[in-house]
Amino acid sequence: MSGSPPPPGGFVRRVGLFQATAINMSQMCGIGPFVTIPLMVAAFGGPQAVVGFVAGAVLALCDGLVWAELGASMPGSGGSYVYLRQAFQYRTGRLMPFLFVWTAMLFIPLIMSTGVVGFVQYLGYLAPGLGRTAGDLIGLGVIALVVLLLWRGIEHIARITAVMWTVMIASVVLVIAAAASDFSPHLAFAYPAHAFDLTDGAFWTGFAAGLTIGVYDYLGYNTTAYMGAEIKDPGRVLPRSILLSIAGIMTIYLLLQIGTLGVVDWHRMTDPHDIAATSVASAVLEKTWGRGAADTVTVLILITAFASVFTGLLGGSRVPYDAARDRVFFRPYERLHPRHRFPTLGLATMGVITAVGFLIGRHTDLATLIQLLTTVMVIVQALAQIVALTVLRARQPALHRPYRMWLYPVPGLVAFVGWCVIYGYADRNSPGRHPIEWSLAWLVLGCAAFLVWARLERVWPFGAKEIGEEFLAKTSAEAEAEAV
C-alpha cells in the first residue's frame, strides 16, 4: 500500500508529511478559535471556559488515534467512507458507507460555512459600516474564489496550502505575543462564584456546550485521511500528520485562550454590541499594540479563515468520489478532471452547499450552526467509526496495520463517551432549534434514499451482499512478494 503506484487515471501520491500536517493544521485552526472564544466564555459563564478547550483537545486526541490506525491501514480516498465500507459490509452491505456520504455531503460544507461566517465577522472590524447584504455578497464571493483556486492539480494546491499555513501560524503567534505583552492574571483567572461546582446541573450543560465548541475548533485533524490516496507513504505519514497537528493546535489554543482572557475582560465577550464578541483577536491587538497592529493581524486572520475553507473543501470533495467509484453514491461523482485529476462534481456540489450554509449562519447565529453540524456528524461518522475499528480488528486480523492505537481500546471508549455527551445535550444547548430531531430526520431520510438506491442497483437488501477486502488482499499480495 505505502508508496504503491496509483491505478491508471487515478490519484497521484504527492503530499508529504510537512504538507499533510500543514493541511490538517490549517483546517483545524482556521478562523475557529478567533470566533469561538467568546462563544466558549458565554457557555461557561466566565474564564473557566478554558476547560472546554482542554476537553475538546482530549476528545480530538482520542478520536485522532482512531483515525490514525484506520487511515494508516486503509489509505484510500474518502476517509470514513472507506473504513465504514470495510467494517460493516458483512452485515448491512453498503448501508453505512451510503449514510456516511449522505451526511458528509451536508456536515462538511456546513463546517466550511462557519469559516466564511467568521471571515465576514472579522472583515467587519476593518469595515465597521459593512451591512448585512454586503457581508452576504462578500462571503459568497469568497466561496466562489475558493472553488476556483481548487480547480487545479494537487501539486499546485499543496504549495498554496504551505504558504497559507505559514500565514496562519504568523497570525496566531502575533495574537499570543500581543496577549503576553499585556497579560493580567487577575483577568485571566477571575472565576465567578461556583464556577467549578460539579453538583450544579448548569455546569454540565455548559460543559457539554463547551465540549461541542471545543471539538469543533479541533475538527480538521482528519483532513488528510480523506486524501489517503494522494499521501506519500501513508502508513507513516497519515498517523504522524494527525498526531502532530493535534499536539501543535492543542498548545496554540491553550496559549491563545488564556492569553486572550488575560487582556480582554470576559464580560465584554458576552456583549453582542462589543467588538470583543465578534472580533476578539482584533480587540486584543488594539488594546495592546494599537489600531494599526490590530488591522494588520486582522488581515492575517482573514487569510487564515480563507485557508481553512480552502483545505476543508479540498479534502471533503474527495468523499463522494470514492463512494461513486464503488457504486455507493451517484455515478456522476466518480468523474475526475481530465487534466488535473480532481473530482469536479464533488467540489462543485460542496461549494454550493457551503454557500447555503453560510447564508443560514448569517441569518441565525454561529453557535446554532456549530451545534447543528456537530450533531449531524456524530452518529454516522464519529460513533460508527469507533465501532468500525473494533469490528475490523475482529474481522480482518491479518490486515497490515503500520500504526496501532495506543492503549487500545481506552482512547476509543473515551471518544465514544465524549461524542455521546455532545449529542445528548444538543437540544438543551440549542433550545427551540431541535438539532437531535433534525439529525434523526436526516438519518431516516438517508435510510429511505438508500432503500430506493439499493432497489435500483439490486444490492442488499434487494440482492446479494458484495464483500470486498481489497486492503486485506493487498496485504497478502505484498507478503507473498516479500517471500519470493
pLDDT in tens, 256-308: 999 999 999 999 998 888 899 989 999 999 999 999 999 999 998 898 888 87
Res. 154: pLDDT tops 80? no
Let me know if residue 37 belongs to a domain: yes
Centre a 10 Å sphere on the Cβ of residue 4 and count the other Cβ atoms it contains.
11
The per-residue pLDDT for 484 is 42
Instruction: Give the pLDDT band of residue 482 (cuts 50, 70, 90).
Output: very low
Q: For residues 12 and 271, what is the distance between their CA atoms, to the nearest angstrom?
A: 50
In angstroms, what CA-CA distances link 425 with 153, 209, 428? 42, 8, 5
pLDDT, tens digit, for every residue of 452-469? 889 888 889 998 888 888
CATH of the domain at 402: 1.20.1740.10
Contact 217, 32 (CB under 8 A): yes
Mean pLDDT of the chain: 85
The per-residue pLDDT for 447 is 94
Let me know if residue 11 belongs to a domain: no
Let me know if residue 6 belongs to a domain: no
Q: For residues 123 and 76, what is the distance between their CA atoms, to the nearest angstrom?
A: 38
Let me know if residue 2 belongs to a domain: no
Res. 160: pLDDT tops 80? no
349 Cβ partners below 8 Å, 6+ apart? 105, 320, 333
The per-residue pLDDT for 201 is 82
User: Dihedral of CA 176/177/178/179: which sign?
Assistant: positive
pLDDT, tens digit, for every residue of 21-66? 887 887 787 778 888 999 999 989 889 988 998 999 899 999 999 9
The per-residue pLDDT for 288 is 95
Res. 216: pLDDT tops 60? yes
Let me know if residue 104 belongs to a domain: yes
Number of domains, the chain: 1
Least confidently predicted of 2-11, 333-342, 427-436: 2-11
Let me know if residue 10 belongs to a domain: no
Written as nine digits, the cell of 410 is 481506552
User: Which residue's entry shows cell 438506491?
Assistant: 453
pLDDT, tens digit, for every residue of 107-150? 889 988 998 999 999 999 999 888 889 999 999 999 999 988 88
Domain that holds residue 236: 17-483
Let me know if residue 118 belongs to a domain: yes
Let me know if residue 162 belongs to a domain: yes
- 7 conformational bin, left if phi > 0, alpha if psi -120 to 50, beta if neither: beta
The per-residue pLDDT for 337 is 66
The per-residue pLDDT for 478 is 54
Query: How confident is the model over 190-204, as a mean pLDDT?
Result: 85
The per-residue pLDDT for 477 is 54
Q: Can you give the pTM of this predicted structure? A: 0.84
